[in-house]
A and B are shown apart, each in its own frame.
Chain A
Amino acid sequence: MPVVTVERKILKKNDEIARENRKTFNDHALFTVNMLSSPGSGKTTLLEKTLSRLPDEVKCAVIEGDVQTDNDARRIAKFNIPVVQIVTNGGCHLEAKLIQDALDNFDLVNVNLLIIENVGNLVCPANYDLGEDKKVVLVSTTEGDDKPLKYPPIFRVSDVLVVNKIDLLPYVDFSLEQVRKNALQINPDLEIFEISCRTGEGLKNWMTWLRSAIRK
């Protein structure tokens, strides 16, 4: 039986568009963050806290990904910044093409920070490069400190881990030391921030990191 060698990446098309996105971001000196977590870890809340702390010279735009509703985009629109809601209608992740299409809605010349909030899901988004500079994965203390061991791919491909809801530590069986150990076992290069969006604890370090990453 004849054999045809293919040797091709199945997600090659996504990777190609991600490369185009990356070029667009570079051309506009735009720093791009892809926020990942399971539903309810606090991605949108961290985004709100971040937006309220950004200095005026940082021009931020936001892409919200959700399976349904524009609730998150409406929360972000209150900050008077450009925001696009992508409703995936059941799709469990954002793909590079969706980002590329969403970019048409922004005046990129006047943006230097783009934050993409991915669909709440710790599995599928790991496979899809969007062209972002950094992937930031969130875990909250109510979820369990073994999340990195249960969902290794997403922790391996991420650059930053944010542990949220540390104000709840007295009430939950969650060890900061253990989550740190588990995460670094999967990815020793992870930069880790421990925060509470509710009390504001730790947000200063997160903001320092973000501001230093934005291109001058």
Chain B
Amino acid sequence: MHEMSIAQSIISIVDETLEREQYQVLREVVVEIGELVAVVPESLEFCYKAITEKTKYQDSKLIINILPLMGRCRNCDAMSQVERFNFVCQKCQGRDLDIIQGQELNISHLEVD
């Protein structure tokens, strides 16, 4: 259960950003989570709710965008979506893929007032 510490990291980045940009109200925080990152979205939502309760962020929404796992074949350079973690090139059936998307754990942007 590391989702709580991730939720705390999100809040501290939100704090910093609002202060720097001189906004008071957070409406939405949008995060991107790659498919290969060990984070359970429902659990992160739960933790976010729990730590924002009775704070100035309690009416804000956490939006989670899941980024599909994508790889580039080391053999033929083709891009493939990796389904069910089966790393295989859809063009040449090669099994050596470099991950080009799917390991993200980012805050994309905030909607503020």
Contacts and interface: CB of A to CB of B under 8 A. Distances in A.
Co-complex (A, B)? yes
Interface of A: 1-13, 91-93, 95, 123-124, 126-128, 149, 151-154, 156, 184-188
Interface in B7-57: 9-10, 13, 17, 21, 23, 27, 31, 36-39
B76 interface: no
B107 interface: yes
B105 A13 contact: no
Given A154-B38, A156-B36, A186-B85, A124 B2 contact: yes
B36 A153 contact: yes
A137 to B, nearest CB: 13
Given A127-B105, A149-B85, A6 B13 contact: yes
Contact of A2 (B23, B39, B86): B23
Contact of A10 (B6, B38, B95): B6
B71 to A, nearest CB: 11
Contacts of B92: none
B29 to A, nearest CB: 8
Q: Which of B21, B23, B85 has the most CB of A within 10 A?
A: B85
Contacts of A126: 37-38
Given A1-B111, A3-B109, A185-B86, A127 B37 contact: yes
A10 B9 contact: yes
Interface string B85-97: 1111000000110
Nearest to B29: A6
**Which 4 pairs between the two chains have the least Cβ-Cβ distance?**
A124-B2, A152-B85, A6-B107, A153-B38
A113 B106 CA distance: 33
Nearest to A1: B111
Contacts of B23: 2, 4
A188 B2 contact: no
A152 B88 CA distance: 14
Contacts of A187: 87
B65 interface: no
Contacts of A92: 1-2
A123 B3 CA distance: 11
Contact of A6 (B17, B27, B113): B17
Contacts of A128: 2
